[in-house]
Structure 1
Amino acid sequence: MPSARLAAALATGLLVALTACAPPPENPAPAELPTDEAALVAQAKKEGQVVLGAGGHTREQAQLLADGFQRKYGIPVKFIRETSGDIARKTQAQLTAGAVDFDVISLNDESTLRAWDAAKALADPAVPNRVQILSGLVNSSPAPRYLPFTWSALGYSYNTSRISEASAPKTWADLAARPSTFAVSDPGTSGAALTYLACMQQIDPGFLPALKGRRSLVASSALALTQMLATGEADFGLPAIESEVANARRHGEPLAVAYPEGRIGALPSFAAGLAQAKHPAAARLLVRYQLSEDLQREQAGQGSRSVLGTVPPPQGAEQLAADRLVMIPADQVKAQKAELVRAFKANVGG
């Protein structure tokens, strides 16, 4: 469970990634890679390793990926698990200097990846099952070189020692009307919270104003909410980060996620290989493996949603029909930021 200091660092890092990453200079064209799977694996084994800058992965997700990849291919994965913002800054510095250490990166911030893609800093993943990725989780025209590997449904979390599943609110209006203590993540410092509020503007514009006057504890990051719920400081957390709640439950914390009736916001995490990777074949192979059905099923068993329509949701997570999902493009979220932050401060505080 992250400490308050760690949560603040996570939030600050993500905010920088959302606002400060400029496109890198264009690099020379990357080396050609084999199209044949066996030849790609053989070249990846010769390269000897692959390095992942894991900003969009949880530590558990990154470890699962590393362990599974080494079991299957015998290629070790070195991963650096830091905040999405820190990985974005380090990657930006490497690209600008023309000295890339990461082979693959993962981020929660699509806008940064889009800028890097436009600058030809990302490699073509050549993922064979790309068409199986759930529609709406990534822009399809033109097809980007970054791809989602997991996503969260932005419901709410609650402490089951205080609130039973049967009595948990079934609608957003019911949730806002509860005379309870809310832990609410600040959209000024949390990218997940900013995305959540942008989605809620479409789902229920009256939800945020309805929180005015409620007892609310403002958290610097959505990742800090699980800690506030687990300690009993709050009854409900907004928004819920499903993988964090699942991890807390594995450690014995009495937490759950609920999905109110109607539409639900969605927040993907993305992965991409870098065009100037030192281990380009291993990088492509790692991205492919991340999106393989085997790994996606293992990831769901760990509590993280799969991006493939063929893989069921994690145990305890509701199956959500595609027409219930609200996904706001990253550039639109960024454009609404100032307005959303003002509305949040006026209705919730912080």
Structure 2
Amino acid sequence: MDFMKRAAQVAAVFALMTLNAQAQQSEAALVEAAKKEGRVAYYTSYVAPQLHEAVKKAFERKYGIPVDLLNVRASELEERIRTEQAAGRFTGDVIQHGQASITRLSRAGTIQPYGDVPNAANMIEGQPADGVQTGSLITAYAITVNTDLVKPDEEPKSWRDLLNPKWKDKILSDDMRALGGGFAMFSAIMQEPTLGEAFHRELAKQNIVFTRDVGQSERRVARGEYPIWIPQISVNVLGLKGLPVRVIVPKEGVAYVRLDQAMLKNAPHPNAARLFMNYYLSEENQMLVGSTGLVPVVRNVAEKIPKEQRVMEGATLMGTILVETQQKYLNLASEIYK
């Protein structure tokens, strides 16, 4: 029995070594083909210039392949792609865009299957790649409170705690009636069975104050203008150190937005595109992503990020914006939060 067990272990080790060797050969062939194409054009609507520059430089340093980076707003990106493809000018290779938006673009024929991207097999639970689009990073949304105005025993441990009468007229919120973090929160709550539409109708009675100036909202709470800010985006949490605020992960979980990547139709540099997509899902790059307050989308990465850089660690991903319900929920948010 011991001999058979040992033989099975040896066979498993050899099988793993074979797979690793095949993977190395496959990546080597991909790198060679990508280098022959000479460059890769990367289009993204995620406004994070420092992150994109860091990824661009790391990829170029590793593979010697230049990255042509286009970082614009979502509406500008989609118009750029529409114009280029309508004119038969296919210049973009890889797109990074919201999950629901890429799903919509895929259905419109703007995206093509990406082929062999080995690291796409390593996605975290609940976020699988499908051969057409795959996650690249996740932004999560929770609750921030002013610690001078909200005592520890008063802190909202649940989204439902925001309904406490003491918070009436005292909650600052990103506008849920327009695309953005507020709408991601609205959608996630709609998908949570214990909350849903009934919760939103009760929350509307709290006379929450809407804003679209997300960059200043956390500071307004820190200054004491409001005791509570919703939803708190994970990527901004590291910048709040030293301020009288605390970020709270509700027990039901956090809203999130997944930024996906995909290969554009008729990409002129398909091998370089695959290599770039594969690099984005590498442990090396996902460590970089996670160190900025974003949630890595690849397994066995989050726990390797330095403790002081981990944001919303262990939070349940509650729900996100879905293409099937996007317009319906936008209409409902406008009806509830008048």
| TM-score, normalisation: structure 1 | 0.75
Matched-pair contact (CA < 8 Å) for 2:148–2:244: yes
1:256 deviates by 4.4
Aligned to 2:5: none
1:289 deviates by 0.6
Alignment deviations for residues 49-72 of structure 1 (CA, whole Å, 9 cap, x no partner): 322212135223312311221221
Matched-pair contact (CA < 8 Å) for 2:122–2:298: yes
1:249 matched to 2:240? The reply is yes
Structure 1 residues 164, 40: closer, same or farther in 2, change over 3 A? farther
Matched-pair contact (CA < 8 Å) for 1:242–1:257: no
Alignment deviations for residues 221-261 of structure 1 (CA, whole Å, 9 cap, x no partner): 65664454455543322222211333x337x6655432111
Aligned to 1:317: 312
- The structure with the greater share of residues assigned to helix is 2
Alignment deviations for residues 299-344 of structure 1 (CA, whole Å, 9 cap, x no partner): 11121101123122652422135xx633463212333321222112
Structure 1 residues 330, 193: closer, same or farther in 2, change over 3 A? farther
Specify the code of the residue in structure 2 equivalent to 1:168.
E
Describe the SS at the equivalent of 1:148.
strand
Map 1:279-290; keep pairs closer than 5 Å.
Answer: 279-290=269-280
Aligned to 2:200: 208
Structure 1 residues 161, 278: closer, same or farther in 2, change over 3 A? farther
1:219 matched to 2:211? The reply is yes
1:51 matched to 2:5? The reply is no
Matched-pair contact (CA < 8 Å) for 1:151–1:269: yes
Matched-pair contact (CA < 8 Å) for 1:240–1:257: yes
2:144 corresponds, among 149, 153, 157, to 157
Describe the SS at the equivalent of 1:239.
strand
Specify the code of the residue in structure 1 equivalent to 2:315.
L
Aligned to 2:232: 240
Alignment deviations for residues 178-203 of structure 1 (CA, whole Å, 9 cap, x no partner): 43622212233224322321221233
Map 1:138-153; keep pairs closer than 5 Å.
Answer: 143-153=130-140
1:78 deviates by 2.8
In 1, Cα distance between the equivalents of 2:246 and 2:70? 29
Aligned to 2:323: 330
In 2, Cα distance between the equivalents of 1:185 and 1:306? 24
Aligned to 2:155: 168
Deviates more, 1:148-157 or 1:288-297: 148-157
Deviates more, 1:252-261 or 1:192-201: 252-261
2:266 corresponds, among 270, 273, 276, to 276
Describe the SS at the equivalent of 2:89.
coil
2:80 corresponds, among 68, 77, 90, to 90
Structure 1 residues 256, 267: closer, same or farther in 2, change over 3 A? farther
1:198 matched to 2:187? The reply is yes
Aligned to 2:8: none
In 1, Cα distance between the equivalents of 2:82 and 2:287? 32
In 2, Cα distance between the equivalents of 1:170 and 1:316? 17
Specify the code of the residue in structure 1 equivalent to 2:286.
Q
In 2, Cα distance between the equivalents of 1:53 and 1:254? 37
Structure 1 residues 201, 113: closer, same or farther in 2, change over 3 A? closer
In 1, Cα distance between the equivalents of 2:261 and 2:133? 6
Describe the SS at the equivalent of 2:290.
helix
Specify the code of the residue in structure 2 equivalent to 1:154.
Y
Matched-pair contact (CA < 8 Å) for 1:183–1:217: yes
In 2, Cα distance between the equivalents of 1:290 and 1:64? 11
Matched-pair contact (CA < 8 Å) for 1:186–1:219: yes
Matched-pair contact (CA < 8 Å) for 2:144–2:231: yes
| Structure 2 unpaired stretches of 5+ | 1-24, 304-308
Structure 1 residues 218, 173: closer, same or farther in 2, change over 3 A? same
In 2, Cα distance between the equivalents of 1:228 and 1:88? 33
1:109 deviates by 4.6
- RMSD over aligned CA atoms reads 2.9
Structure 1 residues 100, 254: closer, same or farther in 2, change over 3 A? farther
Structure 1 residues 153, 121: closer, same or farther in 2, change over 3 A? closer
| Structure 1 unpaired stretches of 5+ | 1-34, 346-350
Specify the code of the residue in structure 1 equivalent to 2:265.
A
Describe the SS at the equivalent of 1:307.
coil
Aligned residues: 304
Aligned to 1:262: 252
| Higher gyration radius (CA) | 2
